Structure 1
Amino acid sequence: METLLFHEIVKAIDGEILKKTTKEQFDSVIIDSRKITEGCIFLALKGDNFDANEFVIDSSKKGAKLCIIDNLCFSLKEVAENTSIILVKDSKKALLDLAEYYRTKLNIKVIGITGSTGKTSTKDILAAMLSEKFKVFKTKGNFNNEIGLPLMIFQLNDSYDVAVLEMGMSGFGEINNLARVARPDLAIITNIGVSHIEHLKTRENILKAKLEIVNYFSEKSSLIVNGENDLLSTLSSNKFDLFKIGLDRNKNTFATDIEILPASSKFKVVTFNGTHEFNLNMPGEHNILNTLLCIECCELLGMSFEEMEKGLNNIERTSMRLDIVKGDKFTIIDDCYNASPDSTKAAIEVLASFKDKRKVAILGTMKELGEEAYKHHESVGKHLKKNNIDILVSCGEYGKAYFGGFEKENNSFLFANIEEMASNISFLLKKDDVLLVKASRSEKFENIVNLLKSLDIKGE
């Protein structure tokens, strides 16, 4: 983090100085009082079950030299002598405002990535490609919301050339706030599905919310979208450059000669600059589309195909996203970080690519689907049937919906909960099975993956 001065901070967050010491310069922002470092800024946030303002005294004694608060629930006399205190109306807003100001001090290209699914994989692919030519920062883990993204911004400094920032949301206004902070020069929308439809009611509203990513575009900014998505394919703009990728010649960048294998894929890309064959160490057509988005972005930043290809060798994939683990007894496709209808169907297609093996789908609930949840789970069941998946194992409130679409009663196994599934799943498996494990994050299906990795097969 580059240095922030005390007077800059006060102005950026519209704060009231309650206590001022001699320290004028700060180079780190921390929101977790357990991680206080000497000389840091401690920004006290309120959560549903906690109020970090209650930890200000302790944080000052641990070494925080500036505390930003929105609740004076302590005596200033108890604060360490060399700690300044600034009061704001809303600490969460102050976090966003301070990060927005800090962004203006940086001479760095920012690329924002949003979409219903595929954000993290696209981030990983793009950061790897760009790393061949630039020093790249990318969002760590799931720091993609109104708290996580500002913390990522504070980790930037002018030693980086490019920042690849993931932007998530659950409702209107959130992407707008993230775009206000990050001010992306380039933006990518991976697709528009039904994730968060419980809150936004229609896919058209989801598109509208995702398009908030362009709200702070300059005249030199560009948006890159997946033109294979029905809603994104109809986009047009006279306010900024719009580029579409896909699988046909009507797109700015498109793929031909596609070959999809169980653990990888191969394709030729055609762009304005020519043609090149790419080998991708990731399975699935959806990852080819994600890669096309990245190729378009890299071209806009002046990279050659050869540089992109070399960069792909540096890919660092986020865990629990289509991780293929080959064991002595069976192969596990670990895709349990999260789940939506679109991402689950894509994972099923990867499972189906394993030929001459018995294919087992182990599925849990997909969250935030609202009133149409049953229909969407049933559609996934139909996709299992369409792709000739052999066995369905499920638990949760929509297990019957999966089964209704799958229509293979003798090959369907429903458990009341994940604990019952864990106790019985070993009896359902056979040597050399290929197992897909997928559910929404809150279902904790990584416990099933860990069990499978150490499991003795008790079936035939």
Structure 2
Amino acid sequence: MLDLTLEEIVKAVDGNFITTNKNEHFEKVSTDTRKIEKDSIFFALRGENFNGNNYIKEAIDKGASVCIVDENKEEFLGYEANVIKVKDSKKALQKLAKYYREKLGLKVIGITGSNGKTSSKDILAAILGEKYTVFKTKGNFNNDIGLPLMILELDGTVDIAVLEMGMSNLNEIHLLADIARPDTAIITNIGLSHIENLKTRENILKAKMEIVDYFNERNTLIINGDDDLLDSVTSDSYKIIKTGLNDSNNIIAENVVLLKDHSEFEVNFQGQKVSFELPMLGKHSVQNCLLCIAAGNLLGLSLDEMNNGLKNIQSTSMRLEIIETDKITIVNDCYNASPSSMKAAIDVMKNIDGCRKIAILGTMRELGDESLNAHIDTGVYAKNNGIDLLLCCGEYSDGFKNGFSDEGCTVFQSKEQLIKALEELIKEKDVVLVKASRSMKFEEIVNELKKMNL
């Protein structure tokens, strides 16, 4: 249940009552009447193809106790609910979330970066769970609507909120940082995601660094010191901790061993050396884990406690998920794709035994002028790092092919055409990576691979 009074809500959103019934029982916040539950606070948001103000009656009929609207319709006067008029319903949602975060007074850790945000969130929640009650962002609720909704799911039982922060342009993380006011921030890396809007990696760094816009000497930024741009970050206003595989970092991983189903490494920190076992794959996962270890140390966990917490990771699906059928091994990494995450997934393939290594790759979105070169470069990387057969479809597939070379690469005109060819192309004991940007829905290919009877 939300720890808010009706008076607090009206004040926080800077609103005025159209009508009221004094119901002060608020269980949840909703922006979708299809999923609304009894005693919810409903925010009537607007989009290109919808206007939540047109669904107030439906929201109340389904049990909404409060409706926040930014239109004043005569029909609202007859509704048996608390209907509150504001200037802008989305801004009102953000204002309420900011107020609620401040009222609860819990610790907040914000995570951003081009890749690895969700995996780091999952690792950090597991580590901190050894000592604290932890809430983490669900799915990809990491934007200007999703993050406020996550904050408004919190209650007084939570000690620490681990909140993912996404962006596609400048000033977006700035807004999220204002709402969430993180005590500690983590930046995983600076890649090419969103370069279509931001044009350079330096501008991507600038956008990600907005997470510290409200920092002072009491706050700490934790960054991947192995990243060339992040390694150059300095500040006199707040503390910085750098982690990674390079000796120059504050917290270092040594003796890294990358295996088929997990990763092993030693953490070297303040004269201590502790062996860690991470149930995730790839060097990038070790780097993400080090960021989380730094955060755990700030909150008083020992290295041994954190290592134990890793046993309880609840990973978000479709991210380097190993699926073994009777005949083949599938690496399901369909959640999203960027040049750095493509290369990381290809690297993981090296540690999985099989007859052939096959990559089924789709378009990487939001790369702008870098799109063609990025797809060519990924094709070259696949060819030089053990991929025997490359199957691809979608925009810039010719880039993959040019990089990989014609031999061993097949371009399909559609996902459906590719799926039809699987029975002929995939053989027993193959290891098959499936990866593309989320909008391509390559999980459909994974589902077909799982059903194959070779």
TM-score by length of 1: 0.96
Superposition CA RMSD, Å: 1.3
The yes-or-no answer on 1:88 pairing with 2:86 is yes
- Aligned partner letter, 1:57: K
1:348-393 deviation line (CA, Å, top 9, x unaligned): 0011223453100000000000011000001100110120210000
Q: Secondary structure at the match of 1:292?
A: helix
109-118 or 63-72: bigger deviation: 63-72
Structure 1: which amino acid aligns with 2:6? F
Counterpart check, 1:448 vs 2:445: yes
Q: Does 1:164 align with 2:165?
A: no
Equivalents in 1 of 2:92, 2:22: separation in Å? 22
Which segment drifts farther, 158-167 or 329-338? 158-167
Task: For 1:255-334, list aligned pairs within 5 A.
Answer: 255-272=253-270, 274-334=272-332
Secondary structure in structure 2 of the residue aligned to 1:75: helix
Q: 1:418 matched to which residue of 2?
A: 415
Contact 1:3/1:25 (8 A) holds in 2: no
Is the alpha carbon distance of 1:339 and 1:66 closer, same or farther for their aligned partners in structure 2, counting shifts above 3 Å? same
Instruction: Give the letter for the 2:33 counterpart.
Output: S
Map of 1:435 onto structure 2: 432
Give the letter for the 1:445 counterpart: F
Supply the distance in 1 between the matched residues of 2:432 and 2:39 (Cα, whole angstroms): 50
Secondary structure (helix, strand or coil) at the match of 1:317 reads: coil
- CA spacing shift, 1:273–1:110, aligned 2, 3 Å: farther
For 2:128, the equivalent position in structure 1 comes to: 130
C-alpha distance in 2, partners of 1:211/1:53? 36
Find the residue that maps to 1:425 and give its secondary structure: helix
Normalising by structure 2, what TM-score?
A: 0.97
- Identical columns (%): 52
What aligned pairs does 1:5-404 form with structure 2 within 5 A after superposition? 5-24=5-24, 26-73=26-73, 75-79=75-79, 81=80, 83-272=81-270, 274-355=272-353, 357-404=355-402
Q: What secondary structure, in the 3-state scheme, does the structure 2 residue paired with 1:86 have?
A: strand
SS of structure 2 residue aligned to 1:33: coil
Alpha-carbon shift at residue 344 of structure 1 (Å):
0.5
> 1: distance between equivalents of 2:401 and 2:90?
44
Q: Which moved more, 1:104-113 or 1:94-103?
A: 104-113
Q: Is 2:353–2:431's contact at 8 Å kept on the other side of the alignment?
A: no
CA offsets 1:182-213 (integer angstroms, 9 cap, x no match): 11111100000010111111111111111111
In 1, the alpha carbon distance for the partners of 2:253 and 2:261 equals: 19
Shift of 1:75: 1.4
Secondary structure of the structure 1 residue equivalent to 2:104: coil
Contact between 1:6 and 1:24, CA under 8 Å: does it hold in 2? yes
Q: Distance in 1 between matches of 2:3 and 2:243?
A: 40
Query: What SS is found at the alignment partner of 2:34?
Result: helix
User: What is the deviation of 1:60?
Assistant: 1.6
Instruction: Classify the secondary structure of the residue corresponding to 2:166.
Output: coil
Structure 1 segments, 4+ long, off by >4 Å, are: none
Number of residue equivalences: 454
Q: Whole-Å Cα distance in 2 between the matches of residues 41 and 112 of structure 1?
A: 25
Aligned partners of 1:138, 1:381: CA distance in 2, in Å? 35
Q: Which amino acid aligns with 1:5?
A: T
Q: Distance in 1 between matches of 2:338 and 2:74?
A: 45
User: 1:291, 1:24 → 2: CA distance?
Assistant: 42
Distance 1:61 1:450 in 2: 39
SS for the counterpart of 2:410 is: strand
